[in-house]
Amino acid sequence: MSTAHLTEPAKRIRITIGGLQLEAELKQTKTAGEVYAALPVQAAINTWGEEFYFKLPGVKDYRETATTQVKVGDVAYWGAGQVLAIFFGRTPMSLGPDPVPADRVNVIGRIVGDATQLRRVMDHTTIRVERV
Protein backbone atom coordinates (compact mmCIF):
# COMPACT_ATOMS: atom_id res chain seq x y z
CA MET A 1 0.00 0.00 0.00
CA SER A 2 1.40 3.36 -1.02
CA THR A 3 1.38 6.20 1.49
CA ALA A 4 2.12 8.86 -1.12
CA HIS A 5 -1.50 10.00 -1.17
CA LEU A 6 -1.73 10.47 2.62
CA THR A 7 -1.55 14.10 3.71
CA GLU A 8 -0.65 15.57 7.07
CA PRO A 9 -3.63 16.47 9.25
CA ALA A 10 -5.06 19.94 8.68
CA LYS A 11 -3.57 22.70 10.78
CA ARG A 12 -5.96 24.34 13.23
CA ILE A 13 -5.96 27.80 14.75
CA ARG A 14 -7.83 29.16 17.79
CA ILE A 15 -9.56 32.53 17.55
CA THR A 16 -10.35 34.29 20.84
CA ILE A 17 -12.46 37.45 21.09
CA GLY A 18 -13.76 38.42 24.52
CA GLY A 19 -15.08 35.23 26.14
CA LEU A 20 -15.66 33.50 22.78
CA GLN A 21 -13.25 30.92 21.39
CA LEU A 22 -13.62 29.33 17.98
CA GLU A 23 -11.31 27.09 15.98
CA ALA A 24 -10.66 27.18 12.27
CA GLU A 25 -9.18 24.52 10.04
CA LEU A 26 -6.62 25.79 7.52
CA LYS A 27 -6.31 24.68 3.92
CA GLN A 28 -3.06 23.12 2.75
CA THR A 29 -1.88 26.12 0.74
CA LYS A 30 1.34 28.13 0.90
CA THR A 31 -0.48 31.26 2.09
CA ALA A 32 -2.26 29.30 4.87
CA GLY A 33 1.14 27.97 5.93
CA GLU A 34 2.55 31.52 6.01
CA VAL A 35 -0.35 32.69 8.20
CA TYR A 36 0.12 29.70 10.53
CA ALA A 37 3.85 30.46 10.82
CA ALA A 38 3.08 34.11 11.74
CA LEU A 39 1.04 33.09 14.80
CA PRO A 40 0.38 33.76 17.63
CA VAL A 41 -0.90 37.30 17.17
CA GLN A 42 -2.95 39.67 19.26
CA ALA A 43 -4.30 42.67 17.38
CA ALA A 44 -6.92 45.40 17.29
CA ILE A 45 -10.03 44.26 15.39
CA ASN A 46 -11.68 46.26 12.66
CA THR A 47 -15.27 45.51 11.66
CA TRP A 48 -16.79 45.84 8.18
CA GLY A 49 -20.37 44.68 8.35
CA GLU A 50 -20.16 41.14 9.71
CA GLU A 51 -16.48 40.73 8.91
CA PHE A 52 -13.63 41.07 11.38
CA TYR A 53 -10.24 41.97 9.98
CA PHE A 54 -6.89 42.84 11.48
CA LYS A 55 -3.29 43.44 10.47
CA LEU A 56 -1.08 40.38 10.11
CA PRO A 57 2.14 41.67 8.55
CA GLY A 58 5.02 39.60 7.26
CA VAL A 59 2.86 37.02 5.44
CA LYS A 60 3.60 36.32 1.78
CA ASP A 61 0.32 36.09 -0.14
CA TYR A 62 0.64 33.52 -2.92
CA ARG A 63 -2.90 34.29 -4.14
CA GLU A 64 -3.58 30.60 -4.92
CA THR A 65 -7.26 31.04 -4.18
CA ALA A 66 -7.82 34.77 -4.77
CA THR A 67 -11.57 35.33 -5.06
CA THR A 68 -14.46 37.58 -4.14
CA GLN A 69 -16.67 34.51 -3.55
CA VAL A 70 -16.64 33.86 0.18
CA LYS A 71 -19.07 32.19 2.56
CA VAL A 72 -19.99 32.68 6.20
CA GLY A 73 -17.22 31.00 8.18
CA ASP A 74 -14.41 31.59 5.70
CA VAL A 75 -11.05 32.84 6.95
CA ALA A 76 -9.12 34.74 4.30
CA TYR A 77 -5.91 36.71 3.83
CA TRP A 78 -5.84 39.97 1.89
CA GLY A 79 -2.24 40.47 0.84
CA ALA A 80 -2.56 44.05 -0.42
CA GLY A 81 -3.55 45.21 3.05
CA GLN A 82 -1.63 42.55 5.01
CA VAL A 83 -4.92 41.68 6.69
CA LEU A 84 -6.53 38.48 7.97
CA ALA A 85 -10.33 38.51 7.59
CA ILE A 86 -13.01 36.37 9.21
CA PHE A 87 -16.44 36.39 7.58
CA PHE A 88 -19.49 35.69 9.74
CA GLY A 89 -22.34 37.40 7.89
CA ARG A 90 -23.21 40.13 5.43
CA THR A 91 -20.78 42.92 4.54
CA PRO A 92 -21.67 46.36 3.12
CA MET A 93 -21.17 44.93 -0.41
CA SER A 94 -23.49 41.93 0.14
CA LEU A 95 -26.50 41.62 -2.13
CA GLY A 96 -27.70 38.33 -0.65
CA PRO A 97 -26.94 36.38 2.54
CA ASP A 98 -23.27 35.77 1.70
CA PRO A 99 -20.48 38.12 2.69
CA VAL A 100 -18.69 39.95 -0.12
CA PRO A 101 -15.11 41.13 0.50
CA ALA A 102 -14.04 44.62 -0.59
CA ASP A 103 -11.32 43.07 -2.79
CA ARG A 104 -10.15 39.62 -3.87
CA VAL A 105 -8.97 37.59 -0.89
CA ASN A 106 -7.16 34.30 -0.52
CA VAL A 107 -9.44 31.91 1.39
CA ILE A 108 -7.06 30.04 3.71
CA GLY A 109 -9.46 28.19 5.99
CA ARG A 110 -12.84 27.82 7.57
CA ILE A 111 -14.35 28.23 11.04
CA VAL A 112 -15.25 24.89 12.62
CA GLY A 113 -18.83 25.17 13.85
CA ASP A 114 -21.08 28.23 13.85
CA ALA A 115 -19.23 31.37 12.74
CA THR A 116 -22.31 33.53 13.36
CA GLN A 117 -21.49 33.32 17.09
CA LEU A 118 -18.99 36.09 16.32
CA ARG A 119 -21.95 38.51 16.17
CA ARG A 120 -22.03 38.31 19.99
CA VAL A 121 -18.54 39.83 20.34
CA MET A 122 -18.77 42.68 17.83
CA ASP A 123 -18.27 45.22 20.64
CA HIS A 124 -14.81 43.81 21.51
CA THR A 125 -11.69 45.58 20.30
CA THR A 126 -9.00 42.88 20.32
CA ILE A 127 -8.55 39.43 18.84
CA ARG A 128 -6.03 36.71 19.59
CA VAL A 129 -5.21 34.03 17.04
CA GLU A 130 -2.89 31.15 17.91
CA ARG A 131 -1.91 27.70 16.74
CA VAL A 132 -3.80 24.76 18.27
Q: What is the CATH number of the domain that holds 16?
A: 2.40.100.20
Distance CA(126)–CA(25), nearest Å, equals 21
What is the per-residue pLDDT across 99-129, written as a single tens digit (0 to 9) for each?
A: 999 999 999 999 999 999 999 999 999 999 9
- Alpha-carbon dihedral 56, 61, 59, 22, rounded to 10 degrees: 50
In-domain check, residue 27: yes
In-domain check, residue 4: no
Per-residue pLDDT of the chain (132 residues; tens, 9 = 90+): 445 556 678 899 999 999 999 999 999 999 999 999 999 999 999 999 999 999 998 999 998 889 999 999 999 999 999 999 999 999 999 999 999 999 999 999 999 999 999 999 999 999 999 999
pLDDT of residue 63: 87
pLDDT of residue 2: 47
State the sign of the Cα–Cα–Cα–Cα dihedral 108, 9, 112, 37: negative
Counting the structural domains of the chain, the total is 1
In-domain check, residue 7: no
3-state DSSP call for residue 68? coil
In-domain check, residue 5: no
Global pTM? 0.93
pLDDT cut 70: percent of the chain above it: 95
Domain that holds residue 59: 12-131
pLDDT of residue 7: 65
In-domain check, residue 1: no
